[in-house]
Amino acid sequence: MAGEQLRYDGQTVVVTGAGGGLGKAYAVFFASRGANVVVNDLGGSFNGVGGSSSMADQVVKEITQAGGKAVANYDDVVNGESIIKTAIDNFGRIDILINNAGILRDISFKNMKDQDWDLIMKVHVIGAYKCARAAWPHMRKQKYGRVINTSSAAGLFGNFGQCNYSAAKLSQVGFTETLAKEGRKYNILCNVIAPIAGSRLTATVMPPEVLEVLKPDYVVPLVAVLVHPSNDESGAIFEVGGGHVAKMRWERAKGALLRADDSFTPGALLKKWDNVSDFSEPSHPEGPANFMELLEDAQKLPKNPPSEDISFKDRVVLITGGGAGLGRIYCLQFAKYGAKVVVNDLADPEPAVQEIKKSGGEAFGVKASAEEGDAVVKAIIDKYGRIDVIVNNAGILRDKSFQNMDDNLFNTVFNVHLRGTYKISKAAWPYMLKQKYGRIVNTTSTSGIYGNFGQANYAAAKCGILGFSRALAREGQKYNIYVNTIAPNAGTNMTRSIMPEEMVQAFKPDYVAPIVLLMCSDKMPQPATGRLFESGSGWAAETRWQRTGGALFNADASMTPEAVKSKWNAIVDFDDGRADHPESSQEAQNKIMANLVKKEKASKKSSGEDGKQYLEAIEKAKQAKAEGSEFAYDERDVILYNLGVGAKRKDLPLVFENDEKFQVLPTFGVIPPFNAVAPFSMADLVPNFNPMMLLHGEQYLEIRSSPIPTEAVLETFPKLVEVVDKGNAGIIVTGQTTKDKKTGKELFYNESTVFIRGAGGFGGAKKGADRGAASRVFNPPKRQPDMVVEEKTTEEQACVYRLSGDRNPLHVDPEFSKVGGFEVPILHGLCFFGIAGKHVYQNYGMFRNIKVRFAGTVLPGQTLATEMWKEGNVVILQVKVLDTGKLCISGAGAELVDGGNSKL
């Protein structure tokens, strides 16, 4: 019965990265349902730096004090054997493994370093492999096991600035699908989730108000169902977060079939391109197409009619693994169509080079591993001065059942395929950016997309290549660099180990080459980037994601494992008419955002006992003490902030660290608290909390010590100041004290007031307390302003300002801003607050404090006018958007230091 509580008594659960966020939520939940829990956490920062035992210890303490059973483990996830040994030594078994540990190293591909790539792979991919590999023999022996691996929307769809993370996260899909195929006969079920939850990772890229409702608690119930003995689902992909749960699967177009002979050319395929992406009769495969049947059908077709040729004249084309098999055919075909071909192969590229030259083509060879990308590309630039096309084709197989897989087999395959693809692309990227032209085709496989027995290493690498390609496509598109992915089926030396010889002979590489050449040409039909195609035997078809309509839950305590189980049919039903095909992280999150709006509209009793609940939560929150959140900054961060609020190149004290008056603008004081962890959750303080209904109403900043250092390590301690009940809305005021960590001296005090529509009526205080300057409303005098300063913001203002910490996509991503109701991304409120503060400071001198009320939005590129009146020791101000005539800041004032003559 779905209504019965799901229990895990006597089972042992290992959770990696369990010191906080989602991992902690898993650990606490399973302990509360009777499981023994191994709480693993290295205790490093979100970007993988450092280590500490305190995080894991704290979670264990919380569990044991509540009567549960838990032990801590402090190993890095690459020491998976030690983590699983902790489970065996303490509890005698391992039943459930949740590979949750993760870090972020977000950076544009142009600026990515190998360490940014390798560290992400180490934690997300190698760590998951090592833990699963160590647990596998125990699970096989007991004929029971449940494994959850963690992907993400960035993996499924690719994200700008996350080529490393997207690659690692999609690799988990191929890895999991393979484990599911190998584990089924031993009752080891393996699934992968793409969660959206608030954590140390997402805190850097999501606004605090959204994080409030993306609680890890809303992911746990799905995982609880998937790892329960009653579950039979395996090899599946689920998207989950914010009260929304849906299943994902691959959907394949019917595709185009042409006669498989020498008349099958890129031009012939171009004529039938509409069929390649025709999803009117889709299939939903779990493995490769029936290529033998396709080949038989292709040979029954008439010769393909003559068609327009494509040309690669003067294009420099690099083929990795070009010495034999598919790579050799690619080389010959590109040369045939006029390209200057670079044959890269670790074995011997010369036979292919000579073959091209004998046919009148131009080619030269580079003997090197694809992992030596820098050397390969340097050789090309030295000879030709440019590189236009890359086909990342090099690969090896080292197939082995997961039970017998060793680190060398896993790492070697993973590095040749995925790291080699990264290294070649990375080395060529600067040249493609400079010439504003590039075409890259990366090679995945059906083993990567669907998983394949004995290929956990290969599947992880190949699916990772797809995640990498999708992220890279997003970064390259504006520079006319297109990136696509092919899953080829061809008989080669590599496939001889797994195919009968007659199939190797029949599945000619020649029948894959046309789509690869077409993708690299300038005739590739739009959209020309970020796509996945399967091809072989004269057939080519596009493959994409399909997502169920899923189930929506009120994102609150009613979302339990039992509730999820009760809606299971809706979660996994692809045929009820609600399924869709998301192509980006933003589209994936639309349903979550819709759930937040739905939650706000839902009627919820908020008086009587419920009201008492909120009043008690408010009092408890007021007593809660923050641990303190660290914020380190240096001169670079100071300059970035000053530029973000409009400093110009002639303002040397604001933009040049060697200027004798180099200084921090006082409004920088709002930056250190931005990602500080509060000791309470806003969602607990008012009913119907919904970030879509939240407005940043007022901001107060007090400078408690000056001069403000231009580099320091600070700590911020948030606290709840008050909650006001306005009937149809709730108001929450949060205070943040920021101290110099070294001296303990207080530098800043902030108060942020947020207004949440639909979150009142709980019986709270109707009016806020008088908090002096922090709550004062300043009314402009009835005379012309004493001073007006106009400043035009730039189109890039939000892009620069967000580098100071507020990574809310509302300010940069048009798709996300549309979800929020804005046609284009808007400027951060604290950015134009900073511009207004700069105007006060530059014209009246240093201020002790500043208080503003936000009255409207500003679009990047609009012109602001700060109107100021000096009344004694106070400057009263308001800010207008000249383009619209509307106020964006009202009721504002700044109290000057020493009458306003003091500078920093």
Instruction: Let me know: does 197 contact 216? Beta carbons within 8 Å.
Output: yes
**What one-character DSSP code corresponds to residue 580?**
B
Q: What is the Cα–Cα distance from 354 to 358, expressed in whole angstroms?
A: 6
* 205 class by beta-carbon count within 10 Å (0-12 exposed, 13-18 middle, 19+ buried): middle
Torsion of CA 271, 272, 273, 277, to 10 degrees: 170
- Supply angle C-alpha 204, 207, 212, rounded to 5: 110
Distances in whole angstroms, Cα of residue 853 to Cα of each of 394, 667, 887: 59, 15, 10
Tokens of 662: 């180099």
Please, which residues bridge with residue 70 across strands? 37
Q: What is the Cα–Cα distance from 452 to 178, expressed in whole angstroms?
A: 5
Please, which residues bridge with residue 886 across strands? 881
Q: Looking at 458, 482, 511, 841, which residue is catalytic?
A: 458
Tokens of 535: 């091809």
Please list the helix, strand and coil fractions of the chain in percent, rounded to the nearest 5, in that order: 40, 20, 40
Q: What is the Cα–Cα distance from 454 to 759, expressed in whole angstroms?
A: 54
Helices 635-644, 829-844: axis angle to 10 degrees equals 100
Please, which residues bridge with residue 877 across strands? 868, 892
Q: What is the Cα–Cα distance from 312 to 362, expressed in whole angstroms?
A: 12
85 is known as an active-site residue: no
Tokens 């495969």 locate to 285
Tokens 């908090």 locate to 771
Torsion of CA 164, 166, 171, 172, to 10 degrees: 120
Q: Looking at 8, 165, 218, 330, which residue is catalytic?
A: 165
Cα–chain center distance at 81: 28
- How many other CB atoms are there within 10 angstroms of residue 899's CB atom? 11
165 is known as an active-site residue: yes
Q: What is the Cα–Cα distance from 654 to 829, expressed in whole angstroms?
A: 21
614 is known as an active-site residue: no
Q: What is the Cα–Cα distance from 366 to 369, expressed in whole angstroms?
A: 9
Instruction: Let me know: does 147 contact 132? Beta carbons within 8 Å.
Output: yes
* 434 class by beta-carbon count within 10 Å (0-12 exposed, 13-18 middle, 19+ buried): exposed
Helices 420-435, 456-476: axis angle to 10 degrees equals 10
Amino acid at 529: T
Q: Looking at 130, 169, 336, 726, which residue is catalytic?
A: 169
User: Phi first, then psi: what are they for 247, rounded to 5°?
Assistant: -105, 145
Query: What are the residue numbers of the active site?
Result: 165, 169, 458
